[in-house]
Amino acid sequence: FGYWLGKWGGWSLLVKIGRLFRISEAQLQEVKTEFKNNAARAVFLGRFIALLRIFAGPLAGIAEMPYGKFLLCNSAGALIWAGIMVSLAFFLGQLVPLEQIAAWVAQFSVLALFLIAGAITLPRWLETRKRSFNPGE
């Protein structure tokens, strides 16, 4: 879906999004050219890099990478990525009991929840406090 989105209208959408982030069309054209020159490598390695994984398909479509080549690179990257992840999960499962992994995930989740809550509430609290010390603002 991402490939076809990029191929049939992705460039105009990318230019509009680029304007929101103050990225000129010339800069986007440079990125498109660079991606085109390294498309196979970018799509294959995109499986291993979270943000690139999301954008590799649409960028391949925008760069007019042939669909067969995109499918081959994307599938090969996905198969190798999945094999590595399954192997890591298997070996980690052999080394560490599932209960221990679940405990670590629970601890991390609690920590992440507090960090997210703090990131949301702290700026608001600081702004409120700043206004109370500077009532004219």
Q: What is the pLDDT of residue 79?
A: 97
pLDDT beyond 90 at 120: no
Please report, for the chain, the start and end positions of each structural domain, with discontinuous segments joined by +: 2-85, 96-137
Q: Which residue has the higher pLDDT, 52 or 26?
A: 26
Asked whether residue 44 carries a pLDDT value surpassing 80, the answer given is: yes
Give tens-digit pLDDT for 79-109: 999 999 999 989 988 898 888 888 988 999 9
Task: Say what the pLDDT of residue 9 is.
Answer: 82
**Among 13-17, 36-40, 58-62, where is mean pLDDT lowest?**
13-17
- For residue 76, how many other CB atoms are within 10 A of its CB? 14
Q: For the chain, what percent of residues have pLDDT higher than 70?
A: 98
DSSP per-residue string spanning 47-111:
TTSHHHHHHHHHHHHHTT--HHHHHHHHHHHHHHHHHHHHHHHHHHHHHS-HHHHHHHHHHHHHH
- Is the confidence at residue 74, as pLDDT, over 90? yes
